[in-house]
Structure 1
């Protein structure tokens, strides 16, 4: 009995069981029915599990290797001699099974604009004993477009049962392609946000840093050389291209370089306190999610006042999480202005870093991990970041 036939019997058995329960049969009879249908239930779980395994590779997108893995799992489930996946622009992407001499014949049926409905097409063949004479073409629809076509190859025109099973399988594959598109869109959005942070760093900070370094060239050449090295290391880290995540150790090292360049500019007006628990240094977090907070502390602590500013950075171990606090004694802000900044409505050049970091933390870890900001006019600002020590898919690139 083919897997397709088993799946049909399973659905029928489950329907009978559900009907018996609805009609009020006793618990003893339901248990007897469940025991009698045990094989069918197990077969149903097998069918569902196999369908999930077949669709899973397409979460990475539609490519020859992912299509091959999907087809190998799906063909035995449908019980057909061959199965193919094709794309509108590239013809037959993968062929699994026998009778591959029909490949060009099948590709000819797929030329032109892809159709959004299931259709059966004949595949005439002169070879005796060839098990393929028909192809059932089922579109994989994502959104309003046909991303690919599932071709189920059979000896005779497909039955209604096979057609329905193939359409259900195609819908399951299309769901994974939709998720793959969503993942790519999120990755593109994340990259755009990191680019925005880099653009925010580059204009004023680079100019001010180079001006500070230039001021030491004649009076203290050794100091100028050290600052130039710090500047080179900081910009190399900030504009790197490898990976969306980093370690807390790397992020803090970059912040130290940033603060060293700031000290060269502000001198004794800037005092920095750094407290870091060694056990949280390997924790992974989104790239460039702390530096904008420190820049915000300097902006509101020094650039908007002539008084001495104190910036405190603390990284602490809190069991399954790491907690980082960036605090300044600057001018602070009104709560309504803070809310506008986090909503992204405070103006095109205001608070880009804070809203960007808050959004990225929520995207990666969930809404419970957004920025916690305590501030008030004349009361300074305290920003708290919490990140889990481990989260699947969150991994820093090797050093």
Structure 2
């Protein structure tokens, strides 16, 4: 019979390392939001715990954002020192001028916070004496804080890039589609006003969804509903020349997907696949959209039996070649890879005269992907 006995978890050095890493992990989420009053206040007590000093402060280049511990009366003095700090200045030690003989803050260690080689603020450490060990510790913590702030900057840049990509995609889609949709609706105004009214409502809902200003992600259900609206408008234009088949597994409808990741593929199929079907004997183009539940993934396929394409031209479109007349392929591919990793880019199967199938795989659950 095995008997459990409580034992120590490692050496004292191991436990000290764990405590340090745990304390740093508590400060990281706030710092990943950037250097603000709120993030400084939330992270600073953990940074001071790392240093084990009576006082610590975080500043930007103009003043003190937050002060933790003793010696709050040194805030104005610290702000002046930081304001006079030249670009590229190393860590410095300055005397804390204080008439209170009992004050534990007699010297300040001011370590720069640098993001992409630009001074963004400082970590200020207040102590009775700035020993060599304390200066080294302040430098290490400041370097770690700088790293977290740089990650925050990268997150902001990535978000701005994603928003720019979606804006570019909207601009790429909307003029062509709006012109054709309004033309189709206008053709029914006299002959079938009820249908014209229904199509106008579908057009309004489609554009409202496409031009919404919030959220990088949506559900597959919402994305496919927008696709259905788009196809209703295109069928009003093409009539019996466009046949659509939808096969959607109900289990995958709640899956989160990047906003506007399916509709551009469908528009591309219509523009480059089905518009070329006029050369076919029956003049009819077929489009199928399938969404399958595949264990931990959702697989969406958009397939047409149109003219197909040269695989080399598709490769160039996926690589972002804007000279390729292909609606958003490179944009959608890049956003899928940004969201889920390089294993989740678009897969395109095509050849001249053989139609085109575009396959999208998305994980049902992925870190950082939320509605």
Name the TM tier (shorter chain): over 0.9
What are the residue-to-residue correspondences of 1:180-329 with 2, within 5 Å?
A: 180-306=152-278, 307-329=283-305
Match of 1:385 among 334, 357, 360: 360
Q: Match of 2:306?
A: 330
Cα–Cα, structure 1 residues 93 and 114, in superposed 2: closer, same or farther, change >3 Å? farther
Does 1:370 find its partner at 2:370? Answer: no
- Superimposed CA distance per residue, residues 42-83 of structure 1 (whole angstroms, 9 cap, x where no aligned partner): 112212322332334201111112111221011122121110
Question: Is 1:140–1:149's contact at 8 Å kept on the other side of the alignment?
Answer: yes
Q: Distance in 2 between matches of 1:207 and 1:111?
A: 56
Match of 2:26 among 47, 53, 70: 53
SS at match of 1:125: coil
Q: Match of 1:82?
A: 55
Of 78-87 and 55-64, the range deviating more from structure 2? 55-64
Once the two structures are TM-superposed, the CA of residue 115 in structure 1 deviates from its matched residue by 4.1
Q: Match of 1:97?
A: 69
Q: Distance in 2 between matches of 1:97 and 1:386?
A: 51
Once the two structures are TM-superposed, the CA of residue 351 in structure 1 deviates from its matched residue by 2.1
Question: Is 1:51–1:169's contact at 8 Å kept on the other side of the alignment?
Answer: no
SS at match of 2:40: helix
Question: Is 1:341–1:352's contact at 8 Å kept on the other side of the alignment?
Answer: no
Could you tell me the TM-score, scaled by structure 1's length?
A: 0.87
Q: Match of 2:80?
A: 108
Q: Match of 1:161?
A: 133
Q: Distance in 2 between matches of 1:48 and 1:212?
A: 63
Find runs of 4+ consecutive structure 1 residues off by over 4 angstroms: none
For structure 1, the 5+ residue unaligned runs are 1-34
Q: Match of 2:107?
A: 134
Q: Distance in 1 between matches of 2:274 and 2:358?
A: 17
Q: Distance in 1 between matches of 2:23 and 2:95?
A: 29
Question: Is 2:173–2:327's contact at 8 Å kept on the other side of the alignment?
Answer: no
Q: Distance in 2 between matches of 1:278 and 1:256?
A: 16
Once the two structures are TM-superposed, the CA of residue 126 in structure 1 deviates from its matched residue by 1.1
Q: Distance in 1 between matches of 2:21 and 2:367?
A: 25
Question: Is 1:88–1:110's contact at 8 Å kept on the other side of the alignment?
Answer: yes
Q: Distance in 1 between matches of 2:47 and 2:154?
A: 24
Question: Is 2:55–2:69's contact at 8 Å kept on the other side of the alignment?
Answer: yes
Q: Match of 1:179?
A: 151
Question: Is 1:84–1:151's contact at 8 Å kept on the other side of the alignment?
Answer: yes
Cα–Cα, structure 1 residues 282 and 55, in superposed 2: closer, same or farther, change >3 Å? closer
Question: Is 1:344–1:352's contact at 8 Å kept on the other side of the alignment?
Answer: no
SS at match of 1:260: helix
Q: Match of 1:147?
A: 120
Once the two structures are TM-superposed, the CA of residue 114 in structure 1 deviates from its matched residue by 4.1
Q: Distance in 2 between matches of 1:366 and 1:127?
A: 57
For structure 2, the 5+ residue unaligned runs are 1-7
SS at match of 2:83: coil
Could you tell me the TM-score, scaled by structure 2's length?
A: 0.94
Cα–Cα, structure 1 residues 43 and 53, in superposed 2: closer, same or farther, change >3 Å? same
Q: Distance in 2 between matches of 1:45 and 1:209?
A: 62
Once the two structures are TM-superposed, the CA of residue 40 in structure 1 deviates from its matched residue by 2.3
